[in-house]
Structure 1
Amino acid sequence: MLKGVFFPNKTNSYAWANVFFLIVLVAIGKIDAYAVLFGYFLETLIVGLFNIVKMYYCYKYNDKTSNITFSIIFFIIHYGGFVAIQSIFVFAIFALGGSSFIKEPFHILENFQIVIRLDGMPIIITMLFITQFVKFIFDFMRPKKYEKFKVNDIMFKPYLRIFIQQFTVIIGSFFIIFSSGSVLTAMLLILIRFIVDFFIVAINENSTVLNYIVDKLYDGKVDKSEIRKQLLLLTE
């Protein structure tokens, strides 16, 4: 199964490219450790943006009875609240750790303006946006997942992925604070994200990894097609 997760293929090629370029850019000093950490954190907003687009496509092709305007507004409110709370928590870690650039965790907008100006941040945000865009095209649009899922199916699905992502960021925060933003710590953070991302990417339609997990979870009570659908939703 691990070969199906990490071995380079068409499905995970964009993830491999992302990891490769990040490591190179960190190694040559174009991106510092803080930019890597907060870049991954800001990716939460990019994921939310693409999730809104997914919701709209599900409405357009498979769920015309939904109130898409209400659903999108509701998603923006609860997802935005989630991001705000997570932001305060991460900023608090840096403030308590004696950060030279984050002083007050509750000044969310001011702190984001500071984060955006970190060395290499425009590069990493561009890379992460391109990665999510490629994933959206090849993992959602081309397989026509919008014909399989309802608006409400998609609405709450970023949370598992984002929870894992934010947990990685929080753990990485402690390493970066104690190492004063070393290159080695940035590499470690990229490696952790590499492992998480590749497991998520590997769970796609008709993949050996998905089939393996479905077979392991199948107990005869729930149809395999439903297990498959829920696993695919969890990786959106």
Structure 2
Amino acid sequence: MFKRALTKSDFLLIVVNLIPLYGVWFEGWDPKTMFLVYCMETVIIGLINVIKMACVTLFVKSTDVWENNGSSTMQSGWFFIFFFIIHYGFFVFIQTQMFFGVTGMIPEGNMLMKYSSIPKLLGDNGMLMLLIFIAYYTVQNIFSFFSSGLYKIISLGRLMFEPYLRIFVQQVVVILGSMFLSFGAGKIFMLVFVAVKIFFELFINFDRYLAIAEKKQRLKERFKK
């Protein structure tokens, strides 16, 4: 389940994640702001996944198999996209609310006020990192997705669940890190967080886990038939 060799994309990932660490340790960047950027990383990955699903629906296949409680039906690709937006959006909402509550970055107020305050909270350094993450994930996800030809063969079901394993690990660490921030241990936990994030991204083969899960599901359905 572990990757055997690092690619050029992996080295770029290391550099991208070391920038906020360097900023916090040597340039006086606010650790809370950098953790907020990592929260927004979840949104970036979700939006990119919607684009990939929409491209598959428009240019490859308009319908695909929907697995639900042991039954299989054909559903429109737009149904997969709608389900992903609602389900993933709920996940992002819970994660951000927990982050805001633990860090106390935003005073109590209505929900719209909380989210409209994010650009101001990010500031120049946070916005710079957000743009770097957007550029990195756009190139790393979308370019490789099409250049490899994966878009021609991947199922919408697998594509829909692709972000979850990475994001689950990342955001658990983000929430734990936000707790440490309240004790003034931002620099230390920033170091721990970046090290853990890089380790999981580089050495845990998430794609293989998804492929195995998909294969098991197909075998289960074939056995039932």
- Fold-level similarity (TM above 0.5): yes
- TM-score band, normalised by the shorter chain? 0.7 to 0.9
| Match for residue 110 of structure 1 among 113, 116, 129 | 113
Could you list the structure 1 runs, at least 4 aligned residues long, displaced by more than 4 angstroms after superposition. none
- Would the alpha carbon gap of residues 192 and 115 (structure 1) be closer, same or farther in structure 2, given more than 3 Å must change? farther
RMSD: 3.0
Tell me which protein shows more strand as a share of its residues.
Answer: 2
Q: 1:60 & 1:173 partners in 2: Cα distance?
A: 40
Matched, 1:87 2:92: no
Relative to structure 1, the CA distance from residue 30 to residue 179 in structure 2 (aligned partners, 3 Å threshold; closer, same or farther) is: closer
Map 1:1-236; keep pairs closer than 5 Å.
Answer: 4=4, 9-29=7-27, 31-65=29-63, 67-94=76-103, 99=104, 101-104=105-108, 107-118=110-121, 119=123, 120-179=125-184, 182-200=186-204, 227=212
DSSP 3-state at the match of 1:178:
coil
**Taking every aligned residue pair, what percent have the same amino acid on both sides?**
28
Residue by residue, what CA displacement relative to the aligned partner does 1:143-201 show, whole Å, maximum 9, x if unpaired? 12111212222123322222112101111111111126x3333233222222222235x
- Structure 1 residues 59-110: Cα deviation after superposition (integer angstroms, max 9, x where no partner): 234423352333323322222122112222222223xxxx3x3233x74332
Q: Any conservation in 2 of the 1:27–1:183 contact (CA below 8 Å)?
A: yes
**Alignment length (residue pairs):** 203
Describe the SS at the equivalent of 2:181: helix
Cα displacement string for residues 9-60 of structure 1 (whole angstroms, at most 9, x for unaligned residues): 3231220220232233223326320111111111111011011111122223
CA 108–159 in structure 1, closer or farther in 2 if over 3 Å, else same: farther
Q: Sort the Cα spacing of 1:78 and 1:229 in 2 relative to 1 into closer, same or farther, 3 A.
A: closer
**1:134: Cα distance to partner?**
2.1
TM-score, structure 1 as length reference: 0.72
Q: How many Å separate the matches in 2 of 1:131 and 1:35? A: 19
**Any stretches of 5+ residues in structure 1 without a counterpart?**
205-209, 215-225, 231-236
